[in-house]
């Protein structure tokens, strides 16, 4: 079974997030949305974008002016399981 690695956004510093939604509007695949007190990320959309374009998307994290949002490495396998790699 082969695994594929890709980067996806994670809200690391909730206390500094201003909920400006710049990250949500910046992402070309619209993989992010705000839930109740959290950011919800459809990591499958991030993975699909990377594997279809062979290019990482960093728009959401680069739009975050507070540094609350970071990109972390995830693993996507052939069985559609996605898990975070390390911290």
User: Is CATH 3.30.70 the right assignment for the domain spanning 17-75?
Assistant: yes
Give the 3-state secondary structure of the chain.
CCEEEEEEEEECCHHHCCCCCHHHHHCCCCCEEECCCCEEECHHHHHHHHHHHCCCCCHHHHHCCCCCEEEEEEEEECCCCEEECCC
pTM of the model: 0.81
Q: Could you tell me if residue 6 is left (phi over 0), alpha (psi between -120 and 50 degrees) or otherwise beta?
A: beta
pLDDT digits (tens, 9 = 90+) for 29-72: 899 998 887 889 999 898 888 888 878 788 999 999 999 999 99
What is the residue extent of each domain of the chain? 17-75
């Amino acid at each position: 079974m082969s695994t594929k690695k890709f980067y996806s956004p994670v809200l690391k510093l909730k206390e500094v997030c201003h909920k400006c939604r710049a990250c949500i509007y910046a992402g070309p695949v619209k993989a992010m949305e705000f839930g109740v007190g959290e950011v919800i990320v459809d990591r499958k959309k991030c993975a699909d974008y990377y594997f279809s374009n062979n290019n990482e998307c960093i728009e959401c994290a680069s739009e975050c002016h507070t540094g609350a949002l970071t990109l972390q490495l995830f693993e996507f396998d052939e069985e559609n399981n996605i898990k975070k790699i390390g911290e």
